[in-house]
């Protein structure tokens, strides 16, 4: 294991991330800051401000999607490519992906269209796994889960 390749999650606007304790390195290490600014810049534009990059990273927390952050702060207007920002953060260990796990809390309100999914709703199967096994998108799964008040989703 030579640390040459690092696998990271596929970018999706529905993903949720949170900072790790390693975020302090970015606040203190000028070389890492310079690398970050160059890496996340929107192609064809001048370099973004480090304070804007750091602010966006610090806004990442459980329950807040990349879409939420983009709608609230418009990284493109700040000359920040949000895809590259997430990549950089994951590669450097500054952020981590938070996964969603559905749990059916009681056996009332059994919905026939969710019957095939209920055995996955025990808190042990993430959205990624369920979507992959069932051949459905995050949005489809989200809509189904939101239609059933006896299913809650936790983040970890």
Task: Output the CA torsion sign for 3, 61, 142, 147.
Answer: positive
Domain shared by 137 and 73, yes or no? no
Domain shared by 133 and 107, yes or no? yes
Three-state secondary structure along 67-106?
HHHHHHHCHHHHCECHHHHHHHHHHCCCEEEECEEEEECC
Domain count, the chain: 2
Domain shared by 70 and 20, yes or no? yes
Domain shared by 89 and 35, yes or no? yes
The verdict on residue 40 lying in a domain is yes
Domain shared by 84 and 37, yes or no? yes
Residue-level pLDDT, tens digit, the chain, 156 residues: 677 888 999 999 999 999 999 999 999 999 999 999 999 999 999 999 999 999 999 999 998 999 999 999 999 999 999 999 999 999 999 999 999 999 998 777 777 777 889 999 999 999 999 999 999 999 999 999 998 888 999 999
Q: Which has the closest alpha carbon to 92: 16, 23, 12, 9?
A: 23
Q: Which has the closest alpha carbon to 104: 153, 155, 144, 138?
A: 153
End residue of a domain, out of 63, 83, 98: 98
């Amino acid at each position: 294991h030579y640390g040459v390749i690092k696998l990271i999650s596929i970018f999706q606007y529905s993903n949720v991330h949170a900072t790790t304790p390693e975020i302090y390195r970015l606040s203190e290490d000028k070389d890492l800051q310079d690398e970050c600014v160059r890496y996340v810049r929107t192609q064809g534009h001048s370099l973004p401000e480090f304070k804007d990059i750091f602010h966006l990273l610090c806004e990442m927390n459980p329950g807040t999607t990349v879409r939420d952050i983009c709608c609230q702060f418009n990284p493109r207007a700040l000359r920040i490519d949000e895809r590259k920002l997430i990549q950089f953060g994951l590669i450097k260990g500054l952020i981590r992906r938070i996964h969603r796990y559905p749990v059916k809390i009681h056996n009332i309100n059994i919905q026939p269209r969710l019957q095939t999914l209920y055995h996955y709703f025990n808190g042990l199967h993430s959205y990624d796994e369920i979507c992959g096994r069932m051949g459905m998108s995050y949005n489809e799964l989200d809509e189904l889960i939101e239609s059933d008040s006896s299913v809650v989703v936790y983040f970890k």
